[in-house]
């Protein structure tokens, strides 16, 4: 099964990915699946994105003016099936994100827009700060991402992005091990705390393989269901390409 099918992403969607542990890989996989089906895709980070990741999607278009960005994007999509948009190039080979309010103006140019709306510094799970995520009002689907390998690890700087906030959010102390309930709380009460009006929600658990991690992901899934997150998808991303995908 393709990841975009499992997540229910179809023409007209503005799918926004938040959380940690595989957002960029998920966006790459979804973009690839959609373009293979003949759809036009815009990838629009509202935070920073590595230029190496943007290169794997398609041409990069940048501008600090929303009207100019729209015109450049329309031109680029006449030649390519997928385009990445940004405000400009930053240091360390990163693409600057666009204002979330610009996303709605771009949405009519493509079949699907994919948004990366927060950062995690490559940690498998995170505490979501008050100013996060940078969500567009145009979002139709909000996908909270977490990597199953965070389960059982201690709450510290090595394993959790913003561990202090993570502890406040989930009620678990610094240095204590992350349980399935805590993992689910980080997604449902953190990443999915502010859902744009009318948007659907989903949780994507990454790093899953048949065996122990699949069993762990199943326990996390049950906790997510108890917390009201009904649409849960499991994937082997980011370690496998093409990714394997399961719906519990």
Average pLDDT, the chain: 96
- pLDDT tens string 176-202: 999 999 999 999 999 999 999 999 999
CB 206 within 8 A of CB 26: yes
CA distance 5 to 118: 23
Q: Are 106 and 42 in contact (CB under 8 A)?
A: yes
What are the sequence ranges of the domains in the chain? 3-42+114-246
Question: What mean pLDDT do residues 83-102 have?
Answer: 96
pTM score: 0.96
């Amino acid at each position: 099964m393709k990841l975009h099918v499992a997540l229910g992403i179809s023409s007209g969607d503005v799918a926004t990915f938040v959380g940690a542990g595989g957002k960029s890989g998920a966006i790459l996989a979804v973009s690839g699946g959609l373009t293979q089906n003949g759809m036009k895709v815009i990838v629009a980070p509202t935070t920073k994105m590595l230029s190496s990741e943007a290169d794997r999607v398609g041409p990069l278009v940048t501008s600090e003016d929303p009207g100019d960005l729209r015109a450049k994007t329309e031109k680029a999509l006449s030649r390519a099936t997928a385009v990445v948009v940004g405000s400009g190039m930053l240091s360390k080979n990163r693409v600057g994100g666009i204002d979330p309010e610009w996303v709605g103006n771009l949405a009519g140019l493509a079949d699907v827009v994919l948004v990366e709306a927060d950062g995690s510094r490559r940690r498998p799970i995170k505490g979501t700060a008050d100013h996060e995520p940078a969500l567009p009002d145009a979002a139709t689907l909000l996908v909270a991402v977490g990597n199953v390998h965070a389960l059982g690890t201690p709450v510290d700087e090595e394993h959790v992005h913003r561990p202090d906030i993570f502890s406040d959010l989930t009620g678990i102390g610094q240095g204590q091990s992350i349980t399935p309930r805590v993992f689910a709380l980080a997604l449902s009460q953190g990443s999915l705390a502010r859902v744009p009006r009318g948007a659907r929600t989903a949780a994507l658990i990454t790093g899953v393989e048949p065996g122990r991690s699949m069993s762990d992901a199943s326990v996390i899934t049950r906790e997510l269901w108890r917390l009201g997150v009904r649409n849960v998808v499991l994937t082997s991303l980011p370690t496998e390409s093409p990714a394997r995908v399961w719906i519990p």
